[in-house]
Amino acid sequence: MTSHDKEILNQIFNPGLPYGDEVDSDSGDNIPQADDSEAVEQAKAFEIQGVREAESGNVDAALGFFQKAVDSAPQWPSAYNNRAQALRLKGDVPGARADLDRAIELSHGRGTAACQAYTQRGLIKKKEGDDGGAKEDLEKAASLGGAFAKQMLVALNPYAALCNQMLTGVLDKLRAGDGQV
């Protein structure tokens, strides 16, 4: 799967995330499988087909291709990340969390796959009201180079949120021409 395919998929599944969120490129995209290289290549091909289906808005078909990717290379973390995103869109949050946990386990908490899984899991935890768990996952993603995770950590900081709110108020007054700040 090309980086462009990954960015497109990320935008489809996560429209609130910034396009092209960067991750450390030298931290090992995924853990290589020396004995399953043909299976991993097949899984990547299924992932590309899944991305194409997702780009077309066909989440069910995308989910089918991501399932085939998991079946082809069950030790390939990227396949679990992609399937988790499709499952989340279908409303299967427990299934998505299980896949994200598996992606983290398979990637040994390193590289792009782990960064994406920690970010996605952190967002799920945040939505479920588990701010502590969200912060922990986002910190791990940020340590792997996830720019969006870093932004989310700032947003979770109540002091940063208060400062942002105050600054927004000051800027709004200035834009409105109110000289009193």
Structure tokens at 169: 């108020």
pLDDT given at position 35: 45
3-state secondary structure of 89: helix
Task: List, in order of start, the domains of the chain with CATH numbers.
Answer: 3-147 (1.25.40.10)
C-alpha distances in angstroms, 177 versus 163, 165, 166, 168, 169? 21, 19, 17, 14, 13
Nearest C-alpha neighbor of 17 from the set 131, 115, 163, 135: 115
pLDDT (0 to 100) of residue 15: 45
pLDDT the model gives residue 153: 86
Of 66, 64, 62, the C-alpha closest to 81 is 66
* HSE of 145, CA atoms in CB hemisphere, 13 A: 15
pLDDT of residue 16: 46
Cβ atoms of 20 and 112 closer than 8 Å: no
Q: What is the pLDDT of residue 26?
A: 36
pLDDT of residue 24: 38
Query: Encoding tokens for residue 31?
Result: 């853990």
Q: For the chain, 181 residues long, give each residue's pLDDT as a single digit of tens.
A: 556 556 555 555 554 444 444 443 333 444 444 445 899 999 999 999 998 998 898 999 999 999 999 999 999 999 999 999 999 989 999 999 999 999 999 999 999 999 999 999 999 999 999 999 999 999 999 999 998 888 888 877 766 656 767 777 788 888 887 666 5
- Is pTM beyond 0.75? Reply is no
Reduced to 3 states, what is the DSSP secondary structure of residue 2? coil
The pLDDT tens digits of the residues spanning 69-96 come to 999 999 999 999 999 999 998 999 999 9
Residues of the chain by 3-state class (helix, strand, coil), percent to 5: 75, 0, 25
CB 3: neighbour CB atoms within 10 A?
A: 11
SS3 57: coil
